[in-house]
Chains A and B, each alone.
Chain A
């Protein structure tokens, strides 16, 4: 026999709220989600007009197209020639490719003693079950060392281009400096809803598994498919999702530009030192003291695990920093 409960208590139950939502009498998100409609990415007419004027000036004054027969004839020539040249290049490359050894044929020149040794003795020599990891981080580690510095220098170039430094505005006066910082914060949020519950709930569920999966991919790089580059990209994606859901205030508690600098210096330094050791011992025919361990165990394959972690840190930091720079220009 069912018990009758008072009205007030009933209103607190889940089933009542479900019924309300079903009937459409009350929206559960009202008052809990900030419902500011997104602003249209409006076009400022002033800026538009300025741009048009600049374009006109460029054509009229700098290039002087009306009287400059040289540039006009060059433009005409350029249009025709670029088309012809592209067709020529495409034809040339297609013809050249058709003469290449057929794809996947066992007699191809690429299937030689180099690949043979990688496949046959890669496991014994590097201790990595994943031959590809063994190749990039042990046989040809010098290339990968360069490659991880490519990522680092790409980040630095983006920093040069996009980082907004407060030093300039602070020099103009502290009040103005505060104003610009506030402007940056506001313009960052102008086109996005703040504190979106759906996004936040999803992020709360998704971000930990994503980051843990990224760590797994990095740590298991020598045992199976994976490695520093892919794992680092996964962690970076997780960080970006977290940033989108919770904003800069939350992420800056644990990840600032200083963190990035220190992490990347440590990771790249670690990589450099570890590899210097193995290059030096290798070239001077000194026996390396680093054991290879049992293949298949997590602590095996010499330096590869450490190098994977370093690469992973660099890649994750690079992805996150790229995103932050393009979005806000500083953190």
Chain B
């Protein structure tokens, strides 16, 4: 076994261990450790990706001396390595982008607790990506939930406490449903290992035995994950949680936490149940309907919002709707489009959150939409970044959002029954996206009267005043343009990875 093959296991253990170690460090050192760990894990993931591409084959890594159905194991393929690398990149940028806000908004003595949460969150995301065992996935879903809760409430205002309580209730409900579905599945198949469950489930489905419990367990797991990733009717926890928490938390939550769960759902579809059974079970039709509803209602809510952070948060509801709509198409190309959208949305939404904070910094920290007039001139980089992010969200060519919308439209062509609804929903959603994003862009580039600027104490912010945030913004824009211009290799990787899945 090549030494590179140990890297997934080392990266999980490293981030897991960094959590307790951060608790004895002070805030500054905990931050350095955190950034170091994320970088190391990113490099290791890249190495793993290179290795897997070289051999062209997935491999299984036994966690301990006992082979799979008895012990634990993790499974590494192209898609897993791509996701791990990408999540590390986004997390690194989010952590450095929100450094200033964290120092202001979090008590000095609680700074290190923040990095415990970030480290363990990264660990749980990695474990969700790599695991080949449903129960291990559940254990790390727990860690993910608790650490996300901590990330929301560490700002310690009334709003964030309320948001955290709401998030916890909804998220625990989701975990409960997921666990219930898992129990059903275990008593039907007698396995927790994904590949073994799939074998058994295929047999069960072919023989028609236990048809109803199998269907119910698929429903429970899908709904549980849908609640945790804020699919439309279950999205009520989202705007407060993203809108009021500290900047890096909002960016990490919107870009990574919900995406980790969605990736788990892809795994359940492909590796646990088998996509053919999922397609025939009609569960995806329900997801399709809610996804389409989310695409439209999320944007409608965003248009009515006057707080820019909450507006961006509501736009997440719409984008999650896109992803579930892709699942609902029931074709492999639909899933590929969804996974590409996971990547593109993660890159764009974190960019938008960081850019929005730059804009509000130039408007005396006011989140109010009308105070942002002319902010694009006062903080030039943030203005450009926000414009780039908005164009990507709307689906302007050259940016990542365009590619994902194109992929959705192409995927819809393969499904004769849903093509009309998908196309209409895409069109309406794009127009609604354009309404609120372009409205904001026009607002930040409308010159404000000099007297008002002086009155309200708005300041100009140059490139070098907030170096870490500027660096993060530049990287985010570059990532977005890269995903928009050179999407072929990324889509190729996703295709190859998905082919390994089934």
Contacts and interface: CB of A to CB of B under 8 A. Distances in A.
Contact of B116 (A113, A141, A153, A272): A153
Contact of B9 (A139, A146, A280): A280
Contact of B135 (A143, A149, A168, A285): A143
B63 A141 contact: yes
B107 interface: yes
Interface in B105-151: 107-110, 113, 116-117, 120, 123, 127, 133, 135-136, 139-140, 142-143, 146-147, 149-150
B210 interface: yes
B187 A110 contact: yes
B13 interface: yes
A259 B139 CA distance: 27
Contacts of B188: 100-101, 109
B65 A278 contact: yes
A157 B146 contact: yes
Interface in B183-226: 184, 186-191, 200, 210, 212-213, 216-217
Nearest to B71: A139
Interface string B19-42: 111011000000000000000000
Contact of B64 (A108, A262, A268, A279): A279
B17 interface: yes
A30 interface: no
Given A101-B187, A149-B120, A114 B107 contact: no
Given A157-B146, A160-B110, A111 B117 contact: no
Contact of B20 (A95, A97, A268): A268
A167 B139 contact: no
Contacts of B187: 100-101, 108-110
A284 B61 CA distance: 9
Contacts of A154: 146
B464 interface: no
Given A101-B187, A109-B190, A167-B108, A146 B19 contact: no
A161 interface: yes
Contacts of B1: 283-285
A208 interface: no
Contact of A139 (B13, B64, B156, B213): B64
A71 B147 CA distance: 32
Contacts of B127: 146
Interface string B69-81: 1111000000000
Interface of B: 1, 5-6, 9, 13, 16-17, 19-21, 23-24, 61-66, 69-72, 107-110, 113, 116-117, 120, 123, 127, 133, 135-136, 139-140, 142-143, 146-147, 149-150, 153-154, 156, 161, 180, 184, 186-191, 200, 210, 212-213, 216-217
Given A167-B108, A282-B65, A114 B191 contact: yes
A163 B146 contact: no
Contacts of B186: 110
A138 B156 CA distance: 40
Interface residues of A, number: 60
Nearest to B67: A282
17 contacts: A93-B180, A96-B213, A101-B187, A108-B190, A109-B187, A115-B190, A118-B70, A143-B72, A146-B139, A146-B142, A152-B20, A156-B113, A156-B116, A167-B107, A262-B24, A269-B21, A283-B64
A113 B191 CA distance: 10
A112 B64 contact: no
Contact of A96 (B63, B110, B153, B216): B216
Interface string A154-174: 101101110101011000000
Contacts of A168: 107
A50 interface: no
Contacts of B113: 156, 159-160
Interface in A110-146: 110-115, 117-118, 125, 138-143, 145-146
A150 B16 contact: no
Given A143-B136, A280-B9, 15 more contacts: A96-B212, A100-B184, A110-B187, A114-B191, A125-B66, A142-B63, A150-B142, A157-B150, A160-B154, A160-B156, A167-B109, A265-B20, A268-B17, A272-B17, A276-B13
Nearest to A281: B65
Contact of B143 (A149, A275, A278): A149
A146 B440 CA distance: 43
Given A153-B146, A165-B110, A280-B9, A145 B65 contact: no
Contacts, number: 173
Contact of A150 (B61, B143, B156): B143
A265 B19 CA distance: 9
Nearest to B107: A165
A288 B13 contact: no
B253 to A, nearest CB: 15
A99 B6 CA distance: 43
Contact of B63 (A92, A93, A261, A279): A279
B6 A280 contact: yes
A101 B108 CA distance: 55
The 4 A-B pairs with the shortest beta carbon distances in the complex, nearest first, are A109-B190, A146-B139, A96-B216, A142-B72
B310 to A, nearest CB: 15
Contacts of A153: 19, 116-117, 120, 143, 146-147, 150
Contacts of B21: 265, 269
Interface string A94-107: 01110111000000
A264 interface: yes
Interface string A254-272: 0000000110110011001
Nearest to A278: B64
Contacts of A252: none
B212 A269 contact: no
Contact of B213 (A99, A113, A118, A138): A99
B69 to A, nearest CB: 5
A147 interface: yes
A95 B116 CA distance: 43
A160 B65 contact: no
